[in-house]
Amino acid sequence: MGFRDRFRNANSWYKKGVELTQESRYEEALECFDKAIELEPKSEIAWNTRGLLLERLGRYSEAVASFDEAIKFDPEFTLALVNKGISLRKLGDYKEALICFDDVLESYPEHTLALINKGITLSELKRFEEALECFNKVTEIDPENAEGWYNKGMTYKEIRNLDEAKKSLEKALEIKPGYEAAWKAKEELTKGD
C-alpha cells in the first residue's frame, strides 16, 4: 500500500469517525479515529479529534495524551494546546491548564478561546479579578463573542456585582438568543429582583 492509498484510507476512517461522533456513536467513532491513526500515526488532526472525543466521554487523562501526540507532531497546533488545557482543568490540574493557555497567549495574545478558558480556570480558582481581565479582553477583541459575555456575567455574579452580571448576560443573549446557559443564569438573577 502506497502513501496515497494509506492517506486515503486514513482519511476515510477519520471522516467516518466524524460522522459517527455527530450521531453520538462515540465508541464506534473512537475505533475509527484509532484506525485512522494506525494508518497515519503523524496526523495531528486525528489525534486532536480523538482527544476531543475522549474529553466528551469524560476520559480526560486519555484526552490529554491524545492532545500531547497532536502537539508532538505539530508544536504550533494551538487548538490542541488549548484543548489539552481544558482537559487538564477538568482533571483539576489548574496549574498545568494555566500553563497551556499562557503558552498559547504568549504567541497569540488575542486568542479568544485561550483567553476564555484561562478566565474559566481562574474563576474556578476564585481568582475573579484576573478572570474578569481575561473576559474583558475577549469582549474588547471580539464584541460579538457570546461566550465571553456569558463568562463575564457569571464572574460578576460570583463577586456579587449583579447589575454588571445582568448586563453581560443580556449582551450574550442579544448576540446568541438561543444561549441556554445564559438564559438560565439570567433567570436565576432575576428571581432575586
pLDDT digits (tens, 9 = 90+) for 118-170: 999 999 999 999 999 999 999 999 999 999 999 999 999 999 999 999 999 99
pLDDT, greater one: 154 or 6: 154
| 7 pLDDT above the threshold of 70 | no
Q: Which CATH number fits domain 1-92: 2.40.50.140, 1.25.40.10, 3.90.1150.10, 1.20.1270.10?
A: 1.25.40.10
Residues 16, 34 contacting (CB under 8 angstroms): no
Output the nine-digit C-alpha cell for 87: 482537559
Q: What is the pLDDT of residue 3?
A: 39
Q: Domain 109-192 sits in which CATH superfamily? A: Tetratricopeptide repeat domain (1.25.40.10)
| Portion of the chain with pLDDT greater than 70, in percent | 95
pTM of this structure: 0.90
Q: How confident is the model at residue 191 (pLDDT cuts 50, 70, 90)?
A: confident
Domains 1-92 and 109-192 share a fold: yes
Q: How confident is the model at residue 190 (pLDDT cuts 50, 70, 90)?
A: confident
Average pLDDT, the chain: 95
Mean pLDDT calculated for residue range 171-193:
92
Residue ranges per domain, the chain?
1-92, 109-192
